[in-house]
């Protein structure tokens, strides 16, 4: 399963895009399968990878996430993956990504949408690099929750280093909260499975053997009773 690296900083012009594109090239040169996600509406990574007119792209990371939010089928890999000359698979961006916060408004679990997509391609790559936006918000939180590790390019200045320390503290708080939510969801799933098993046993006694798929297909987690009063 691929390792996800987020290249982020709240400040622009510190070398995020240069780091993301250079590191992806070096990893690919070493024989690794690498995907590079441009998650910045400035689309500098997309341009550096050779896309001269990002605005003309029909499918970008924004369109993929929009499909996830709308519960629509994801586009074919060939429509949103661009194989660069360096052998890296680029998932491009254009200025549509500036509407990301608006897209996520009133969306349940908005902070997890990027992770939902990345989880679908993790098995195909050794490394997935994400060039994040230079601001704190829903987009940055998506990157933090999605990635396994952060790379934070920083200038050798006192205020910049202090800002990085604050940024790391925020990262650990967000990851801890996300891990807690994930653990809670796993616990709920286990409880649902235990409930399923109990109901199946009770159904066996009352009606004879009932196939589990027929009984529980489409179960939504709501309390149900399979035994007539």
Q: Is the pLDDT of residue 10 over 70?
A: yes
Please state which CATH class domain 3-153 belongs to. alpha beta
Q: What does pTM read for this prediction?
A: 0.73
For 48-55, the CB contacts below 8 A with 24+ separation are 48/17, 48/21, 49/21, 49/82, 49/84, 49/88, 49/90, 49/92, 50/84, 50/85, 51/82, 51/90, 51/92, 54/92, 54/93, 54/94, 54/95, 55/94, 55/95
Per-domain boundaries in the chain: 3-153, 157-217
pLDDT digits (tens, 9 = 90+) for 94-120: 999 989 888 998 888 899 999 999 999
Highest mean pLDDT pick, 113-122, 160-169, 176-185: 113-122
What mean pLDDT do residues 215-220 have? 34
């Amino acid at each position: 399963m691929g390792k996800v690296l987020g290249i982020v900083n709240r400040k622009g012009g510190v070398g995020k895009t240069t780091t993301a594109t250079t590191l992806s090239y070096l990893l690919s040169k070493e024989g690794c399968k690498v995907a590079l996600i441009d998650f910045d509406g400035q689309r500098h990574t997309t341009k550096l990878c050779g896309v001269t007119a990002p605005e003309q792209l029909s499918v970008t990371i924004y369109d993929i996430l929009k499909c996830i939010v709308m519960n629509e089928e994801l586009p074919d890999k060939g429509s949103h993956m661009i194989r660069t000359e360096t052998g890296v698979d680029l998932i491009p961006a254009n200025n549509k990504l500036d509407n990301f916060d608006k897209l996520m408004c009133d969306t349940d679990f908005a902070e997890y949408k990027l992770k939902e997509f990345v989880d679908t391609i993790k098995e195909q790559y050794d490394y997935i690099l994400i060039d994040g936006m230079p601001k704190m918000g829903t987009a940055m939180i998506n990157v933090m929750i999605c990635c396994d590790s952060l790379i934070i390019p920083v200038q050798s200045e006192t205020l910049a280093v202090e800002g990085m320390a604050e940024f790391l503290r925020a990262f650990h708080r967000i990851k801890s909260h996300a891990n807690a939510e994930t653990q809670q969801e796993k616990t709920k799933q286990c409880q649902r499975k235990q409930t399923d098993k109990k109901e199946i046993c009770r159904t066996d006694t009352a009606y004879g053997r009932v196939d589990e798929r027929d009984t529980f297909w489409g179960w939504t987690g709501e309390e149900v009773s399979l035994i007539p009063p």
